[in-house]
Structure 1
Amino acid sequence: MKRDGMPRSCPTLLPAAALLGVLAVAPGAAAQPAVPCSSLPSPVHVTGSSAVKPFLAELAKVLSASTPPITIVYQGQGSCAGVAAFFEGAPLSGAGLSHWDADTELLCDADVEGRPIDIAVSDVFATTCDPAYTTSSTVSDFAGPIQPMTFVVPNTSTQEAISAEAAYFVYGFGDASGVPPWTDEQFIFQRNAGSGTQQMMAAAIRVPASRWRGAPATSSDDMRNLVAFSTDEERTIGVLGANVASESSSLLKVLAYQHYDQQCGYYPDSDPLKRDKRNVRDGHYAIWGPLHFLTHVNINTGDPLSDGAALVIDYLTGRKQPPAGLDLIKLEAQHHVVPECAMRVRRTEEMGPLASFMPTRSCWCYFDAVAGGGADCDRCDSDGDCPSHSPKCNFGYCEPQ
């Protein structure tokens, strides 16, 4: 590997000033006296990755008003912490767990006696967190929407791209990286070995997550702030899920990334001003994986033991059409993840080889439309409106199948 192996960038790289946007700050839960979580109607306990919370919240609002009502109780504690709690049988604990009524995020307190976690959500495969955490006849991993991970710098930095080889030395050697300008560990920011973001990026650049060099960030929000408000914008670099990075575009710049054996760098999107995730969806951008929904299943049927968990998983993985009025494809696009129906490649292991993929019911064109990039596809009301090369009318657009 060459320490100075910075990539050419195939896309046009725009100056930082062109990337300015509006930082979205999610409102907190409404202030109210917390109730015992066990007192809520049909609670489904979910924990793990924070990436799932935006669209989990919208689904929770709909399910709370269903007949009979179902309550999603959520505690974000990081991917690997959630996976560990699930496999080790630890219940949700503490005060201030999130749940939702039809309009608002509310709080409840975990029960003293605890109850098993119904769903653990992880940015990475459970075995990436710990090889002992394997699926079995009683535990299944249901793959959900695709989440990209990114290298980020302050938006005033002049840096535009990074190669896997350069990242290997930056995060593997820190002060001794030999990759200017990233040669000072106080400005090289990492998460920790329990972070799904760090675990996936570790697999990508081939530096074990537990051996990364750099100053620690306690959360995605902390990472965003440490990078954005660094006192040395040129020597600063960090890692973030694309959802947080994209929603912080007034503060941060996503670097184009050149993976091993690639000839140039790619953004997750077709250009840095779009949010279409085209380079993720067709396999050019390398660092991504599905959200994983782990739950206990019936040994004979493979179905989730909890009816509530089954419903939540079926909706969030696209196995079942979402309730009326809930457009999960649009919601996922707005939060910078990609439903399987908008993908053309897939992988079955962490940062594993890509395989060509065509979903049973494609939403490639509709995702383009709702992600803001515009859909270069024929509009339709029925299959009869579509040409022979794209004969199926899905979500208002003609698709191959």
Structure 2
Amino acid sequence: MKLIRQTMLAGALAALLSPRSALALDCSALPNPVYIQSGDTQEPLLKALGQKLRASQASPMTLIYKTSGSCTNIDAMYKGTKLTTNPLYIPSVAEDPTWDPSKPAPQCTIDPNGVPLDLAISALFVSACDPSPPPSGIGLFQGPVQPYVFIVPEASSQRAITAEEAYFVFGFGSAGKVEPWTDESLYFIRTTTKSTLLTMAAAIGVPGAKWKGVMLDKSSEVLSGVATSPNPEKTIGILGAEIYDGNRDKVDALAFQAFKQKHAYYPDSTATSFDKRNVRDGHYTIWSPTVYLAPVDAQGTVTNPRVRYLVDMILSKTVSPAPEFDPLDVVISKGLVPDCAMKVTRSFEGGDLSLYTPAEPCGCFYESRVGMPSAACKTCGGDGECGGGKCRHGFCEAK
């Protein structure tokens, strides 16, 4: 019995001294903290960037974040709602040498009086949640594009869905009589504050509050519900594309045929590629921009220098001091499409698409990171090699 007690005590001490003892760490003790409230579809990016920023010598910071619905995040920034529940944070190598962005982030203990948010992240147009102008002192910064997908279990034989079919499936449920999706208990969707639901709602013309199905709080719950369904053929769900991209071994995406289209398209050029070609050129229509909300001064400049540095990096702007990594490469690696790689744009959720030319294009670099750049793309070492164009990220761009 004595040996058992000693073993248990040793185990308890080991747990307290392990890297995961950071669960009890005071958030305010973390170096250069940035407090963020974000949609969970953006968590992969926060983890990847956060790990690099935590180790950075140029501009080190600790990303401390809570995930919530985009509409909730917008409301929190507009109203100055403090963070009062224990958030997650990105650990340093010293705190946890085994941690990487594929693993859950540890928690820290928040001040019980709450901490003001430095940054809120929405994964859809702010107007979809609140059409009124932002309060004075709050700036909105449009970031990379986030596609969304309908998903089915790998065992499903379904490969595509039309907007009309989705309208009857999610608008009428069993009464819609769209085979094989006639069991509402096997529709795995999100709640009405989430960008995933609201973006999909705009794409198929069914208001978010009227959707049929099982409303779930987290993307991981949707993924699990679809992947483990006992009736794969009748199961369907909705998910952010970057969450899907990291879990293609568990579920399949459906090609989508929008209203007035004659063919269905994947976000990517094929079911197995990661190039987001059909998002970039307008063939795949279910997407929204990410939007970063932060306190600003009278000139519209983000007041917190660490937040300004972080947002500028994500928006592909030049930052000083230059980081030891390429932020654009990190954004692309997480399944988002940077604005500089887009060829179409829209001004509101589900709005018509129009042709778009970014001020500083990065299409060739983007293509080089997700597959094979087109034949027109030329590598370069400086502007002089680009015939009047600009050399960006090692490729000649038109301007």
Aligned mates of 1:319, 1:379 — CA distance in 2: 21
Per the TM alignment, residue 190 of structure 1 is displaced from its structure 2 partner at its CA by: 1.4
Deviation of 1:226 after TM superposition, in Å, equals 1.0
Structure 1 stretch displaced more, 96-105 or 39-48: 96-105
The AA in structure 1 aligned to 2:352 is P
Q: Deviations over 1:4-48 (max 9, x none)?
A: xxxxxxxxxxxxxxxxxxxxxxxxx95123322222333221112
Unmatched 5+ stretches in structure 2: 1-17, 100-104
Q: Which residue of 2 aligns with 1:293?
A: 292
Partner of 2:39: 49
The alpha-carbon distance between structure 1 residues 251 and 71, as it changes in their structure 2 partners (threshold 3 A), is closer
| Residue from 13, 20, 23 that aligns with 1:31 | 20
Distance 1:94 1:136, change over 3 A: closer
Which aligned pairs between 1:260-299 and structure 2 lie closer than 5 A?
A: 260-298=259-297
Count of aligned residue pairs for this structure pair: 369
Instruction: Give matches, 1:77-92, under 5 Å.
Output: 77-92=68-83
2:78/2:134 contact within 8 Å kept: no
Specify the alignment match of 1:112 in structure 2: 112
- Normalising by structure 2, what TM-score? 0.86
State the Cα deviation string for residues 199-246 of structure 1 (Å, max 9, x = none).
111111111111100123331111111111111111111100001112
Query: Aligned to 1:100, which of 83, 91, 96?
Result: 91
Deviation at 1:81, TM superposition (A): 2.4
Aligned to 1:304: 302
Partner of 2:228: 229
* Partner residue, 1:347: 346
Judged with a 3 Å threshold, the aligned counterparts in structure 2 of structure 1 residues 328 and 176 are, in CA distance, closer, same or farther, namely: same
Corresponding residue SS for 1:172: helix
| Alignment match, 2:215 | 216
Contact 2:87 2:107 in 1 (8 A): yes
- Is the aligned partner of 1:317 residue 2:315? yes
Amino acid of the structure 2 residue aligned with 1:168: Y
Instruction: Select between 65-74 and 340-349 the one with higher mean Cα deviation.
Output: 65-74
- Residue matched to 2:122: 122
Work out the percentage of aligned pairs sharing the same amino acid: 37
Decide whether the 8 Å contact of 1:96 with 1:108 is kept in 2.
Answer: yes
Q: 3-state DSSP class of the match of 2:20?
A: coil
TM superposition shift of 1:106: 4.6
Q: Which amino acid aligns with 1:128?
A: A
Distance across 2 between alignment mates of 1:330 and 1:72? 19
After TM superposition, the score normalised by the length of structure 1 is: 0.86
Partner of 1:246: 245
Q: CA deviation at 1:78?
A: 2.7
Question: Once structures 1 and 2 are overlaid, which stretch shifts more, 227-236 or 100-109?
Answer: 100-109
Deviation at 1:374, TM superposition (A): 4.2
**Residues 41 and 210 of structure 1, relative CA distance in 2, 3 Å threshold:** same
> What is residue 18 of structure 1 aligned with on the other side?
none
Aligned partner of residue 51 in structure 1, secondary structure:
helix
CA offset at residue 291 of structure 1? 0.8
Structure number with larger C-alpha Rg:
2
Structure 1 runs (4+) greater than 4 angstroms displaced: 102-106
Q: How far does residue 136 in structure 1 lie from its aligned partner after superposition?
A: 4.0
Q: Give 1:321 shift.
A: 4.4
- Deviations for 1:350-388, whole angstroms, at most 9, x for unmatched residues? 122222222222111111111134443222222333356
What do the CA deviations read for 1:239-259 (whole angstroms, capped 9, x no partner)?
Answer: 000011122111211111111
Cα distance in 2, alignment partners of residues 288 and 240 from structure 1: 11
1:310-340, Cα deviation, whole Å (9 max, x unpaired): 1111111123348433222222222111111
Distance 1:67 1:379, change over 3 A: closer
Query: Is the CA contact (8 Å cut-off) linking 2:280 and 2:344 kept in structure 1?
Result: yes
Q: Which moved more, 1:255-264 or 1:214-223?
A: 214-223
Higher share of residues assigned helix:
2
What letter is aligned with 1:325? Answer: E
Go from structure 1 to structure 2 and tell me whether the alpha carbon gap of 1:186 and 1:373 turns closer, same or farther (over 3 Å shift). farther
Quickly say closer, same or farther: Cα 1:67–1:340, change in 2 above 3 A.
Answer: closer
In the aligned structure 1, how far is the partner of 2:296 from the partner of 2:39?
A: 21
What are the ranges of 5 or more consecutive residues in structure 1 without an aligned counterpart? 1-28
Q: Contact 2:313/2:328 (CA < 8 Å) preserved in 1? A: no
* Whole-angstrom CA distance in 1 between matches of 2:233 and 2:194: 25
Cα distance in 2, alignment partners of residues 235 and 32 from structure 1: 44
Cα RMSD of the aligned pairs, angstroms, is 2.1
- 8 Å CA contact 2:314, 2:331 repeated in 1: no
287-296 or 67-76: bigger deviation: 67-76
- In 1, are the aligned partners of 2:78 and 2:135 still within 8 Å (CA)? no
Residue 100 of structure 1 aligns to a residue whose secondary structure is coil
Distance 1:372 1:43 in 2: 36
Which SS does the other structure have where 1:358 is aligned? coil
Is 1:145 matched with 2:136?
no
CA shift for structure 1 position 96? 4.6
